[in-house]
Amino acid sequence: MHRLWVPELRQAIDSITIHGDEADHLARARRARPGEPIALHDGQGRIATGSITRIDPGSRREPPSVTVQLDLTHLLPPGPAVHVLTAVPKGGRVDEMVEQLSQIGARSWSPLRCARSVVDPRPTKLNRLERIAVESMKQCGRAWRLHVADHTTDFAEAFAASKTQPPPATILAHSAGTPALNWFLTQRAHADSTPTTTLRLLIGPEGGWTPDELAAAHTHHAAILSFGPHAMRIETAAVVAASLAVQALTT
């Protein structure tokens, strides 16, 4: 089934005509045909299914357009949220990390500036990662698009509360921490009538956390957890830790 990202989907009722890059890719690269099934995602919980009724191939001056007859629209709740903040891996490794975080169901990813960070992504890089998150959303069929932050978060800011909400439960990944599975099982056993539905997960640089950063995590009552017996690269640790956290909050 074809899948498109259509942010304006909420305005559609029975049908919608799609323009721009999504229509161009569907008409020219995918060579879609009228009558084929399609799913439209707005990235904010809404998925509409239907069939293609018209494809205008466009011209040099006019881009293609695709008209879709909508049959059924779902609005899915966001569910538990795992917000991942990581030091940024070098090169294309960050691309793979964002794609995989999207597939496993993380709510957001933010670049984290630590004392030993070596990469500070430019806005153009973050914009490209946002596009990767969109493509991953379509590939895996998730209703809520992984949000990619448009700026880098300093380590101290990761523990700050917003003006309207207290900070969520925070986990800092560290090889000398409490085994993560044991911690999650303990949390579940002692859960009250309002179990945790939001987690903030911090993954440090390959040079590790500094003593001052670990001390700050203790001061802010972060859970310091180990996610495996071996040293991991940033992208590996992020995906392993986020996957366990998502499963812990949804089962």
3-class secondary structure for 74-94?
EECCCCCEEEEEECCCCCCHH
d(CA 34, CA 66): 9
Rg (CA), the chain: 21
d(CA 38, CA 143): 14
Listed residues 75, 92, 113: the one ending a domain: 75
pLDDT values of the chain reduced to their tens digit, one per residue, 251 residues:
899 999 999 988 899 999 988 999 898 888 899 999 999 999 999 999 999 999 998 777 888 899 999 999 999 988 889 999 999 999 899 999 999 999 999 999 999 999 999 999 999 999 999 999 999 999 999 999 999 999 999 999 998 765 545 567 899 999 999 999 999 988 888 766 555 678 999 999 999 999 999 999 999 999 999 999 999 999 999 999 999 999 998 87
- Which tokens hold the place of 108? 């957001």
d(CA 228, CA 181): 10
Placement of tokens 């721009």 in the chain: 20
**246 with 189, same domain?**
yes
CATH number reported for the structural domain that contains residue 22 in this entry: 2.40.240.20
What phi and psi, each to the nearest 5 degrees, are found at residue 39?
Answer: -125, 135
pTM passes above 0.95: no
The number of distinct structural domains making up the chain is 2
CATH number reported for the structural domain that contains residue 145 in this entry: 3.40.1280.10
Residue 128: domain span? 81-250
**211 with 107, same domain?**
yes
**66 with 94, same domain?**
no
Task: Spell out a b/e string for 106-131, using b for 16 or more CB atoms within 10 Å of the CB, else e.
Answer: bbbbbbbbbeebebebeeebbebbbe
**170 with 241, same domain?**
yes
**27 with 128, same domain?**
no
d(CA 134, CA 160): 28
